[in-house]
Structure 1
């Protein structure tokens, strides 16, 4: 039957459907399902297919990739300013984080050859394609920088590789923001303006935390500054993102992981510029808090996106607002 019945006065009225549920005397009972209950999607079903990504692969990849890229940039700065202890800690840390991120990526892909298959083309409009080439260009340089520093061989090559990895590291730390924003997941897609700044700040904070954790106190000043600046950028970007997204940003505002990440990052950054200047134990604690805070932020962003993909209102309502805005603009024109 039609969804609209005609009343005796000639007006149309939306008819309430009946939905059978178990539990009544005859084994079934009926309740009215109004049009309002179905306003967002068909019987409240998700509009989008949930991404097949898993948090232990992709969220970890987002964190480790950002840590690797920002650590290489910090290593290049330390190398050029004569801080060998900080440079070595950042180079080795970057290589370890790179190995972990590649493992997570390949584990998500299922087979290593799938990564190699993506190198057959270069598509500038595809964040996945661009990111694959960024990783390919960054990885050997990060490996050479760490290997030459640890062995003392080929110092000239090692210095060049350190600078090259530092430059490529800025792209590695932020391209994943474009990668997830280029999906249909509502929270990620709508946050495309702030996401690169949030990821860049989070990556800088984690690299600063690693430097404070592993480098001598006398050489850790750049790491402390990176942690403070990164945390400030991350917090401002997150706050602006949650406000601008409005109702779509509800999963972000409800995320306990994001709140915990902000608290840990702020505590670590403030400790870094105060007590961590004089105490090795305080510096290690601050560095660990910054690393944990950055990880919580990436996992929080990941889970908020998954929540928004499963709830149809976060997909349908923004579309309706955009259509209403276009209609209003046409009427005013």
Structure 2
């Protein structure tokens, strides 16, 4: 992900300049170091897995990489992954835009969304390659719980945002309400959670029902992924509307 940030900055030396300092109270500084740490551990883990799968060949270097403790490296890597999942929400909350800064739950919302969408993506891919039914059943339970946590985080964010959430949930032409409620909440959270609840309570009888269940599971994962995309899209667009609302800006400044 670091190459994507460097490309977005336009000049590689800007990224190097950001590594010259470490400020714990600076979201930008912490974000750069968090991104660097995540890229480092995820890259090493991917190389180790490639060596174990014999993608790198059978030379001594590949055999040495295959012996490295992949699970041990996943522990600090998971920490950076969680940090990065909520970083964009924390960064937005550090601005003066009311719909972003009024509530401190935006970072937690983005973390919960990252968990649900990543689980959905893993489930989607494993269904394509034909993973064992037992593994998929465990993923269904994890996906169900992650969607529930995301719904709780979302409504906690809306509750603590107060009037500032109008740009996100309102019905004015410039607001994101219809897309937010129909696509993100309805299609990306509530519907997948209800279907997943039905799947968890339904027993598998024969191979045809398993195939049907697999197709429904892929649809659930796709809906969660679409909902995660529209969550970030509507939140970002609502920020533009919120910053142009003078009354909400003054109300937010009085807190």
Q: Show structure 2 runs of 5+ residues with no match.
A: 53-64, 171-175, 205-209
**Pair 287,125 (structure 1): closer, same or farther in 2 beyond 3 Å:** same
Residue 184 of structure 2: which of 261, 272, 280 is its match? Answer: 261
Q: Distance in 2 between matches of 1:124 and 1:178?
A: 13
Residue 86 of structure 2: which of 164, 169, 174 is its match? Answer: 174
Q: Distance in 2 between matches of 1:156 and 1:266?
A: 42
| Aligned-pair CA distance for 1:165 | 1.5
**Pair 280,212 (structure 1): closer, same or farther in 2 beyond 3 Å:** same
Q: Does 1:275 align with 2:175?
A: no
The match for 1:48 is none
The match for 2:165 is 249
The match for 2:68 is 156
TM-score (ref. length: structure 2): 0.77
| Aligned-pair CA distance for 1:108 | 3.9
Q: Distance in 2 between matches of 1:225 and 1:116?
A: 42
Stretch moving more, 270-279 or 246-255: 270-279
Is the 1:224–1:269 contact (alpha carbons within 8 Å) kept by the matching residues of 2?
no
Q: Show structure 1 runs of 5+ residues with no match.
A: 1-97, 323-333
Q: Which runs of structure 2 are paired with 1:1-333 in the superposition (5 Å)?
A: 98=1, 103=4, 105-152=5-52, 153-192=65-104, 194-215=105-126, 216=131, 217-254=133-170, 255=176, 256-259=178-181, 260-263=183-186, 264-275=188-199, 278=210, 279-320=213-254, 322=255
Q: Greater strand share, 1 or 2?
A: 1
Q: Distance in 2 between matches of 1:151 and 1:232?
A: 37
TM-score (ref. length: structure 1): 0.60
| Structure having the higher Rg | 1
| Aligned pairs, number | 220
**Aligned residues: CA RMSD:** 2.2
